[in-house]
Amino acid sequence: AQVRKGEKGTLIQYWKFTEEKIKRDANGKPVIGADGKKVKQTTKLDKPRAFSASVFNAEQIDGLPELKKVEPRWDRHERAEKILAASAANISHDQEDRAFYSPSTDKIHLPTKEQFPTADNYYAVALHELGHWTGHPSRLDRDLTGSFGSEKYAKEELRAEISSLMVGDELGIGHDPSNHAAYVNSWIKVLQDDPKEILRAARDAEAIKDYILSSEQKKTATVQASAKKEPPVSSVDEAAQRLAGSFKNPADAERFIAAVNKNVAQRVQHHYHDQEEELER
User: Does residue 12 contact residue 53 with C-beta atoms inside 8 Å?
Assistant: yes
Residue 263 to residues 25, 102, 237: CA-CA distances in angstroms? 53, 54, 11
Confidence (pTM): 0.58
> What is the number of other CB atoms lying within 10 angstroms of the CB of residue 266?
8
The 10s digit of each residue's pLDDT in 226-275 is 545 544 545 556 666 666 666 667 777 677 667 666 665 554 344 445 54
Give the dihedral of Cα atoms 178, 114, 124, 191; nearest 10 deg. Answer: 30
Q: How far apart are CA 107 and CA 169, in angstroms?
A: 25
The 10s digit of each residue's pLDDT in 9-34 is 999 998 888 888 899 988 889 999 88
The DSSP secondary structure of 34-81, one letter per residue, reads TTSSBPEEEEEEEEEEEEEEEE--GGGEESPPPP-PPPPSS-HHHHHH
The 10s digit of each residue's pLDDT in 136-187 is 999 999 999 998 888 899 999 999 989 988 999 888 888 776 666 667 778 8
